[in-house]
Amino acid sequence: MSIAQLSADLHAAAPLVGASLLACDFANLRQEIRQVEQAGVRILHLDVMDGHFVPNISFGLPIVEAVRRTSDLPLDVHLMICEPGCYLKQFRSAGADLITIHVEAVPDPRPVLEEIRSLGAGAGITLNPPTPAADVEACLDLCDLVLVMSVMPGFGGQEFDPAAVDKLCRLRAMAGPDVLLSVDGGISLETVGPCAAAGADLFVAGTALFSQDNYGRFVDEMTGLAKSFTDARV
């Protein structure tokens, strides 16, 4: 699928709940993926951590490859790593449809974003809570996705930082309607509404999703809340 078609499909399906697999039961990875697919999740989010850029180690290429073999859903691969440009080809080959890098991890994100696009993947930029929205303004023309971190990256289950709402508003205005605006960190039934009202399209849920007894009910409730706030915004 082309970048343009993927972007169009995701925009058409928004608001979207993305499943952050970092919080799933890895002993039952295939089953967990099947359950979130059946629940109506339209995109899988994979957090790759190297223990240097963030103070944690998660998983790498073998897990991305395994998820790709298991699911046809788009894979949103979030590289929380130093020197992400060194691994773009490998993650694209492993099955990444979207590759997101941190603006804090590279001196100039533009060449990295250009390379992601040249590999046929959607290009994303993300920024940590202390990083101002202005730091990504110069590269928004190369972005298919902008991810606002509403917690400091590294660990799941953290509390949502409400400062992310203002940042979402600013980035929605800066990026325009054609860029998919995503938010990750502490996303739940309590925080999805303000994020949707601020302009978010994609809501990455990890602990809040995988702690549920009924994934489908949670995704329906999240999507319904997001849609009501999105419709009110329009």
Show the domains of the chain with their CATH numbers.
3-233 (3.20.20.70)
What's the pTM? 0.95
Q: Quick check: 6 pLDDT over 80?
A: yes
Contact 223, 17 (CB under 8 A): yes
Contact 180, 145 (CB under 8 A): yes
How far, in whole angstroms, is CA 167 from its chain's centroid? Answer: 16
**pLDDT band of 85, cuts 50, 70, 90:** very high
Token pair belonging to 12: 């058409």
Residues 97, 35: Cα–Cα separation, whole Å: 21
pLDDT at 233: 65
Q: Quick check: 127 pLDDT over 90?
A: yes
| 160-212 confidence digits (pLDDT tens) | 999 999 999 999 999 999 999 999 999 999 999 999 999 999 999 999 999 99
Amino acid, res. 165: V
Q: Quick check: 121 pLDDT over 80?
A: yes
- 3-class DSSP assignment, residue 198: coil
Contact 127, 153 (CB under 8 A): no
Burial of 61 (0-12, 13-18, 19+ CB in 10 A): middle
| 21-80 confidence digits (pLDDT tens) | 999 999 999 999 999 999 999 999 999 999 999 999 999 999 999 999 999 999 999 999
Q: Quick check: 234 pLDDT over 80?
A: no
Query: Which residue numbers are catalytic?
Result: 47, 184
